[in-house]
Structure 1
């Protein structure tokens, strides 16, 4: 028997809005092999996640430019063209979130996001202001799946872990939420999300 769900927490990237660094770089580095090399060696996932943890873009760029001065323009392009990477919202996911809020459900968001790009995302996608609040990793200096960020979110928003349901597109982040005592489901699409919500007693 699942505990009654009183709090629903959404991840943002690849759950509510699309995110793909390939979008601008497919234009900036047309050769696929060169582009793959660039993401594997220069602007890597591990490099980018530190901005989600709170590192300033200026520092992040300087670190890479010191090692790859010949790629300075391409390195700076990551932040410069970031808005292209969040190309569109997932309308059906947003509709589910809006319906939950309209139904009186307690909805918040927990996201790995750099602080300044999240401010930009809010301007691009005003629906990000609809939930009761958000924990942004770049603002608190913690990133999923560190249990501390789930615990902070619970404290800050008065959530009861056993009565909380988390929705994320990453297996590691879903597991992190479960380790923090939350219920959690992996997002792969809106039909599965509707079924997962219903399975936890949350009907739209």
Structure 2
């Protein structure tokens, strides 16, 4: 039976691209994971980084944080100053799934990512396979981010995607819930093998 799905939308970080502040800060904290985790939860916190994913300027964000925690200035400036070191490798097993979908005549592939618009060009320079997507929506460029419905609606409207014919893949459960609220079928990514199985169950030929 032919699948009703014609569009597959990928998250990038955690699904296709490895990224982690740990690559910088675990060394700075001399292997002390407890201290590193405290710093990343309390000083350069995840919700602070999410603001930059929604378009807040990196320079201003850094100065804001230094003003709040001047005793951690050196470490705070490392967060974006050494950001390239946090950008890791391609998840090759997921990339193979993308490759098959990209080469299949029945499917179109897009990306929807929470990512600073200032930093995303570095990913474009590093990962040439990003050119396989029909289009990429970068939250920082749009001044909105997942899991809020506006960015899913923007993606659907920009590329004339029928939500009933679309699948969205993300490693964050809340982002999957967000896509489902606008009628897209969501898949929570936990690994390439499970993703392949989930796609096949939905009738996708890979």
Separation (CA, whole Å) in 1 of partners of 2:56 and 2:144 = 11
Separation (CA, whole Å) in 1 of partners of 2:85 and 2:5 = 36
**Would you say how many aligned residue pairs link Structure 1 and Structure 2?**
204
Q: Which residue of 1 aligns with 2:156?
A: 154
Structure 1 residue ranges without an equivalent (≥5): none
Q: Which residue of 2 aligns with 1:58?
A: 59
Which of 154, 160, 164 matches 2:166?
164
Q: Which residue of 2 aligns with 1:111?
A: 113
TM-score by length of 1: 0.96
Q: Which residue of 1 aligns with 2:135?
A: 133
**Partner SS, residue 87 of structure 1:** strand
1:34 deviation in Å? 2.4
Separation (CA, whole Å) in 2 of partners of 1:33 and 1:193 = 32
RMSD: 1.4
Separation (CA, whole Å) in 2 of partners of 1:111 and 1:195 = 23
Closer, same or farther in 2 for the Cα pair 1:199/1:65, shift >3 Å?
same
Which of 115, 126, 131 matches 1:124?
126
Q: Which residue of 2 aligns with 1:15?
A: 15
Alignment check: 8 A CA contact 2:166 2:184 kept: yes
1:86 deviation in Å? 1.9
Q: Which residue of 1 aligns with 2:191?
A: 189
**Partner SS, residue 35 of structure 1:** helix
1:32 deviation in Å? 2.7
1:116 deviation in Å? 1.7
Equivalence map 1:27-66=2 (5 Å): 27-30=27-30, 31-66=32-67
Closer, same or farther in 2 for the Cα pair 1:102/1:25, shift >3 Å?
same
**Partner SS, residue 129 of structure 1:** helix
TM-score by length of 2: 0.95
Alignment check: 8 A CA contact 1:2 1:200 kept: no
Alignment check: 8 A CA contact 1:65 1:72 kept: yes
Q: Which runs of 4+ in 1 moved over 6 A?
A: none
1:3 deviation in Å? 6.7
1:36 deviation in Å? 2.0
CA offset digits 1:147-197 (Å, max 9, x no partner): 110000000011000110000001000010000100110111111111111
Structure 2 residue ranges without an equivalent (≥5): none
